[in-house]
């Protein structure tokens, strides 16, 4: 079954998405997510100019061979642009294979290991009372696990807090990269204070536990803002509140830095949403320095590569916790859910509901019920792209915010 076309669709229904559509001579189509937040057009050019021409005439069923051909044949390997493009191709081919077989992708991966994937939602607030209200809203929506993010006294805006004002003064409940509305947009800049953050967060979790009790799984994202010793301190300070995980406590560029964190706290650790290869994890897995792998299918080479990464993690008793924000399109979310259902070492799935405009463009079959996500049983991934709806939302330049310390130094976000 030969590939006859590989087209890239760019649309911005509330935020930017890059989608690869592969078409075969039999008329089957497959979709792959290639969205790279804030650098979308770099992936578009990579796909259109360098990858799509290589796909024409290839066997659409040769998923593994195509992955190796594009990864090894290009000489330049890894990196977010390359791996997002490769992920789009791989995921689209799995979508086609499922449609050709008349089966959902999870069945092709070995079948379901569970009835659904436990999902966590994002509760946040400018202050503790607003945060507690957000937790109540998420519980009412059916979530069984909740990420806790809070504003920090003295800071006007904190990334990851939905009640913070975006560049235009609006709330950013979907955490989009900000659009400044100028001819030459630049990232919004926010001020950050790590010491204030470290003082405040234990009081936040004390209030949440006091209000909602000991059973509710609670998560927290540090957004790479701490040094290893600061991360170790926070992990230790949060031990009384029994977190499900502390995520991205310190930058993972130096994998050995996690040794220091691990030595000082028993709080479970999760990392990897900015990683794009199994090689970013080798020390972390082999030394059991983390408990959850955070990579997204969209940014880590697709279903083929992430399945291998999770199989390696399973050897060391480490579970999945795949990245699932709204800058992963519904196509990327569906791909994650098929893996969630099929892998034995599933842990939890991040889930931010996409905006209604996004769901006008991407028609999905996955469902959220009683705190669990299921990819559905439609053949392939179970997501279709509406071209007319996509055309109504042209690309708009947008960027994630930049953090600066009080002295003006650029800091991790």
What is the rounded CA–CA span in Å between residue 294 and residue 319? 9
Catalytic residue among 122, 138, 220, 223: 223
Q: What is the dihedral of CA 100, 386, 56, 62, to 10 degrees?
A: -30
What is the rounded CA–CA span in Å between residue 151 and residue 171? 13
DSSP 8-state assignment for residue 355: P
Beta strands in 126-199, from DSSP E residues, in sequence order: 145-150, 189-191
> Using alpha carbons only, what angle is made at residue 323 by residues 131 and 93, rounded to the nearest 5 degrees?
150
Q: Which residue has the tokens 């008329």?
A: 27
From the number of C-beta atoms within 10 Å of its C-beta (0-12, 13-18, 19+), residue 412 rates as: middle
* 299 labelled catalytic: no
Helix (H) or strand (E) holding 86: helix 80-101
**C-alpha R_g of the chain:** 21
* 223 labelled catalytic: yes
Instruction: Please say whether the beta carbons of 9 and 21 come within 8 A.
Output: yes
Beta strands in 70-168, from DSSP E residues, in sequence order: 117-125, 145-150
Phi, psi at 9, each rounded to 5°: -115, 125
Catalytic residue among 159, 172, 241, 281: 159
What is the rounded CA–CA span in Å between residue 119 and residue 217? 11
What six digits make up the tokens of 349? 């799935």
Among all residues, which ones are annotated catalytic? 159, 223
């Amino acid at each position: 079954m030969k590939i006859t076309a590989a087209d890239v669709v760019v649309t911005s229904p509330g935020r930017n998405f890059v989608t690869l559509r592969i078409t075969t001579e039999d008329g089957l189509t497959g979709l792959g997510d290639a969205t790279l937040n804030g650098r979308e057009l770099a992936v578009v050019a990579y796909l259109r100019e360098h990858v799509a021409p290589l796909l024409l005439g290839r066997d659409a069923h040769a998923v593994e061979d195509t992955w190796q051909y594009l990864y090894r044949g290009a000489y330049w390997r890894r990196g977010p642009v390359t791996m997002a493009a490769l992920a789009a191709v791989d995921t689209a081919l799995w979508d086609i294979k499922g449609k050709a077989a008349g089966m959902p992708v999870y069945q092709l991966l070995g079948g379901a290991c569970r009835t659904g994937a436990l999902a966590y939602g994002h509760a946040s607030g400018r202050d503790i009372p607003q945060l507690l209200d957000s937790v109540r809203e998420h519980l009412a929506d059916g979530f069984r696990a909740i990420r806790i993010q809070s504003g920090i006294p003295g800071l006007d805006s904190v990334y990851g807090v939905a009640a913070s004002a975006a560049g235009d003064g609006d709330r950013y409940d979907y955490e989009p990269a900000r659009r400044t509305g100028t001819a030459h947009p630049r990232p919004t800049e926010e001020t950050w204070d790590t010491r204030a953050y470290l003082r405040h967060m234990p009081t936040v979790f004390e209030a949440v536990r006091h209000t909602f009790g000991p059973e509710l799984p609670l998560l927290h994202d540090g957004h790479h803002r701490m040094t290893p010793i600061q991360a170790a301190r926070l992990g230790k300070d949060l031990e009384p509140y029994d977190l499900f995980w502390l995520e991205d406590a310190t930058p993972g560029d130096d994998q050995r830095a996690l040794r220091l964190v691990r030595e000082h706290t028993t709080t479970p650790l999760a990392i990897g949403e900015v990683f794009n290869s199994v090689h970013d994890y080798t020390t972390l897995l082999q030394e059991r320095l983390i408990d959850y792998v955070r990579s997204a299918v969209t940014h880590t080479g697709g279903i083929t590569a992430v399945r291998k990464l999770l199989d390696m993690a399973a050897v060391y008793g480490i579970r999945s916790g795949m990245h699932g924000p709204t800058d992963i399109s519904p196509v990327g979310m569906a791909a994650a859910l098929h893996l969630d259902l099929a892998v034995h070492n599933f842990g939890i799935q991040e889930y931010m509901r996409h905006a209604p405009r996004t769901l006008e463009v991407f028609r999905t079959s996955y469902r959220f019920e009683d705190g669990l996500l299921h990819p559905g049983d439609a053949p392939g991934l179970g997501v279709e792209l509406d071209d007319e709806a996509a055309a109504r939302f042209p690309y708009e330049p947008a960027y994630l915010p930049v953090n600066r310390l009080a002295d003006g130094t650029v800091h991790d976000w």
